[in-house]
Amino acid sequence: MTHDHAPAHPSRPLSTLLAPIRGQLIAAALLAALGAALSLVPLAGVAALGANLLSEQASPWSSGAIIAVSVACLFASGVFSVLAELLAHLADNRITGHLRLALARHLMQVPLGWFGGRSSSAVKRALQDDIGTLHSLVAHFFTTLGRVLGAVTAAVGYLMLMDWRLALLALLPFPGFVLFLRRAMAASAQHMGPLGERIAELENAVVEFVNGMPVLKAFGNRHDPRYQRAVSGFAHAFDQFTRPLVVAMAKANALIAPATVLGVVLIGAVLMVALGWMTPLQVLPFVLVTPGLCAPLLLLHAITHDLHNAVAAAQRVLDLLHTPVLAQPVRAQHPRDNELRVEGLGFAYDAQKPILSGIDFTLQPGTTTAVVGPSGSGKSTLARLLLRFHDPSQGRITLGGVDVRHIDSATLYGRIGFVLQDVRLLRASIRDNIALGRPDASQADIEAAAQVANIHQRILQLPRGYDAVIDDDAVLSGGERQRLSIARAVLIDPPLLVLDEPTAAVDAEGEVALQEALARFAKGRSVLVIAHRLDTVMHAEQILLLERGVICERGSHAELLAAHGRYARLWALGDYASALEHDCQQPPAQAPAPC
Ligand code: ADP
């Protein structure tokens, strides 16, 4: 079962997603229809029994036969209904399990740079909410539809057989119901799009509100204007959506309420009996069956509403399943050594605004290259490109002579380790977090890695040591989390290391421990380090000064000072970080310009 070859934008998302279980769903709906039709037999039995008892040729045998058939049909109806539900739930289990796995498999191939706040909420919505919506549809919609169609068809057929004139009269309110229902549907469809947008806005605003709560409170502000706007926007859209719907639905419901239908039947029946077209006894089936027609039709409406939600959910799941993936090499090549080269590299997140251009440099094995520059100059983007979070728009990055696009991920991440500003730890034990890249690592190896990363002693202080669970009984500071992520990288023992300002958000005390851990880890490896302070990188073999996406100056610390250029001026200013910012205060150009 796979969806990998489904068209990118199928016009019928639901049938595309449910194609693998179509047969099971049809069978479930047919069984449910049969069950519902058979459940009407006892009602017809009561009418037949009445007629039999009042007739002159009444015999206990015929009454007994009617009762027996009614009971057997009731029993069979129950059996068919249970089978239908079982089949639908098995199909549901199969498809939702498959979709969850397919989504997870697909997301594993999506560029790492794709993951962010917005994409996380899209993933959470698809994996939890949308698959939950599809579960309700698959498990309940098709059997309910079958039941409704089975019950209505059997009831109408039976009444037509009894007396087609009174049957037509009894059905008169129903076209009116359909008319009002269509009006209600049209009104809700018109407002469905804006409502969906407001819901998405509200979800994002809630996430931002919760994340930003400490900042809002710290600045004495109790109200987040964006959140309040999102709440009001949603309330307004919901009002617009429900108002016409409720009015039209109330009229529709009143038209087919059991009392209305029974009233119409009784008025018609009185007239027809008075005209001598039928006997009072022949009215009995209508009195018994017609009031029951209302419930299935209302149910039909309710599940049609679910269907709209499910189509939208299916579309979102399909969109996620079609998120562009990072091209995997057809024939993976093996890097001959650990030399990393960047050749004519250019990159843009969107075509309008190039972020990097014409970047060339080589990271020789065993040496350190530092990248410095003002914020927004593209340093982190460069680091992420080396880690293949994105692929370059121009030029290429090679490792051991092979374009990184032709190296399979396992080999690439076995060779390049990274420690970024934003540490992602799993809500799992410390041991599992360190051993993420080498799940088979021994306890001794894990502890050795933690020692290199300066975090071993801290772990031992936790009540459950290496078994402590992150954010549960292991609440770590920013610097400790960084050191844990270093231990994770140490365990893989990569010859190359990309460090993106790992000390940026760490306090002074934590920074000393972190710098020590980094220095120990970096020893003997090729390192590309992005730094916000020039004094931390003055011993690097090569320093690249990046400004607005281009390399302005390059060389060792001594060479750059001797050149008396921009770097030398920044160094002389002393306060490197703020000097970098102030020196480049001009608004960023549309395209990276040479310095
Ligand atoms: P630096 O690390 O030097 O501060 P970045 O590489 O983080 O710079 O950012 C360079 C530019 O790219 C900035 O203008 C930033 O707004 C933009 N940028 C960074 N990440 C993204 C992204 N995921 N999508 C779009 N633009 C981005």
The one-letter amino acid code at 77 reads: S
Could you give the maximum distance between any two Cα atoms of the chain, in Å?
123
Give me 3's structure tokens: 């969806």
Q: In Å, how far from its chain's centre is CA 273?
A: 62
Contact 48, 285 (CB under 8 A): no
* Minimum-distance ligand 1 atom for the alpha carbon of 546: 3
Q: Which of 110, 347, 355 should be mutated for ligand 1, with most atoms under 8 A from CB?
A: 355
Provide the sign of the torsion angle of the four alpha carbons 549, 555, 561, 565, taken in this order.
Answer: negative
Give me 23's structure tokens: 């047969």
Contact 122, 316 (CB under 8 A): yes
What's the rounded Cα separation, in Å, for the pair 360 and 218? Answer: 44
* Distance in Å, CA 352 to ligand 1 centroid: 14
Identify the bridge partners of residue 469 per DSSP, sorted by sequence position.
429
* Distance in Å, CA 588 to ligand 1 centroid: 12
Of 486, 479, 477, nearest to 510 by C-alpha is: 479
* Distance in Å, CA 329 to ligand 1 centroid: 27
* Distance in Å, CA 423 to ligand 1 centroid: 18
142 by Cβ neighbours in 10 Å (0-12 / 13-18 / 19+) ranks as: buried
To 10 degrees, what angle do helices 41-54 and 280-289 make?
160
What's the rounded Cα separation, in Å, for the pair 114 and 555? Answer: 33
The one-letter amino acid code at 574 reads: G
Give, using CA atoms, the residue closest to atom 13 of ligand 1: 376
Give, using CA atoms, the residue closest to atom 11 of ligand 1: 376
Contact 1, 98 (CB under 8 A): yes
Contact 234, 198 (CB under 8 A): yes
The one-letter amino acid code at 518 reads: L
Give, using CA atoms, the residue closest to atom 16 of ligand 1: 376
What's the rounded Cα separation, in Å, for the pair 447 and 467? Answer: 12
pLDDT 10s digit of each residue in the chain, 595 long? 444 444 444 568 888 888 899 999 999 999 999 999 999 999 999 988 888 888 777 778 888 999 999 999 999 999 999 999 999 999 999 998 999 999 888 888 887 777 765 677 778 888 888 888 888 888 888 999 999 999 999 999 999 999 999 999 988 888 888 888 788 778 778 888 888 889 988 988 888 888 777 777 777 666 778 888 999 999 999 998 888 888 888 888 888 888 888 999 999 999 999 999 988 888 999 998 988 888 888 887 778 777 888 888 898 898 888 888 777 777 888 888 889 999 999 999 887 788 999 999 999 888 899 999 888 889 999 999 998 888 899 999 999 999 999 998 888 888 888 888 778 888 889 999 899 888 889 999 999 989 888 889 999 999 899 999 988 888 888 888 888 988 888 888 889 989 888 776 666 666 777 777 777 777 888 889 998 777 778 888 899 999 989 999 999 999 998 998 888 888 887 655 555 555 444 444 444 445 5
At residue 284, the 3 state secondary structure works out as helix
List, in order, residues 6 or more apart from 425 with CB less than 8 Å away: 433, 470, 471, 476, 481, 484, 485
Q: Which of 119, 381, 546, 583 should be mutated for ligand 1, with most atoms under 8 A from CB?
A: 381
* Minimum-distance ligand 1 atom for the alpha carbon of 549: 10
pTM recorded for the entire structure: 0.66
Q: Look at the block and give the residue holding tokens 């009971």.
A: 71
Please count the residues of the chain: 595
* Minimum-distance ligand 1 atom for the alpha carbon of 350: 25
* Distance in Å, CA 577 to ligand 1 centroid: 18
Our CA angle for 160, 165, 167, nearest 5°, is 45
Give me 468's structure tokens: 């402590």
What's the rounded Cα separation, in Å, for the pair 158 and 164? Answer: 9
Other Cβ atoms within 10 Å of 24 Cβ, number: 19
List, in order, residues 6 or more apart from 304 with CB less than 8 Å away: 185
* Minimum-distance ligand 1 atom for the alpha carbon of 113: 23
At residue 264, the 3 state secondary structure works out as helix
* Distance in Å, CA 393 to ligand 1 centroid: 15
Where do the domains of the chain lie, and which CATH numbers do they carry?
13-321 (1.20.1560.10), 340-585 (3.40.50.300)
In this predicted structure, what is the pLDDT of residue 11?
65
What DSSP element (H or E) covers 261? Answer: helix 258-274
Q: List, chain by chain if needed, residues with CB within 6 Å of any ligand 1 atom.
A: 349, 355, 373, 375-381
* Minimum-distance ligand 1 atom for the alpha carbon of 374: 3
The strand ranges marked E within 43-199 are none
At residue 554, the 3 state secondary structure works out as strand
Contact 430, 487 (CB under 8 A): no
Give, using CA atoms, the residue closest to atom 5 of ligand 1: 378
Provide the sign of the torsion angle of the four alpha carbons 72, 74, 75, 79, taken in this order.
Answer: positive
What's the rounded Cα separation, in Å, for the pair 386 and 493? Answer: 18
* Distance in Å, CA 381 to ligand 1 centroid: 6
Distances (CA, A) of 539 to 31, 192, 340, 558, 563: 77, 61, 20, 9, 17
* Minimum-distance ligand 1 atom for the alpha carbon of 588: 14
Q: Which of 112, 349, 350, 544 should be mutated for ligand 1, with most atoms under 8 A from CB?
A: 349
What's the rounded Cα separation, in Å, for the pair 583 and 562? Answer: 20
φ, ψ of residue 331 to 5 degrees: the values are -125, 100
* Distance in Å, CA 403 to ligand 1 centroid: 24
* Distance in Å, CA 503 to ligand 1 centroid: 19
Contact 386, 357 (CB under 8 A): no
* Distance in Å, CA 316 to ligand 1 centroid: 27
* Distance in Å, CA 359 to ligand 1 centroid: 16
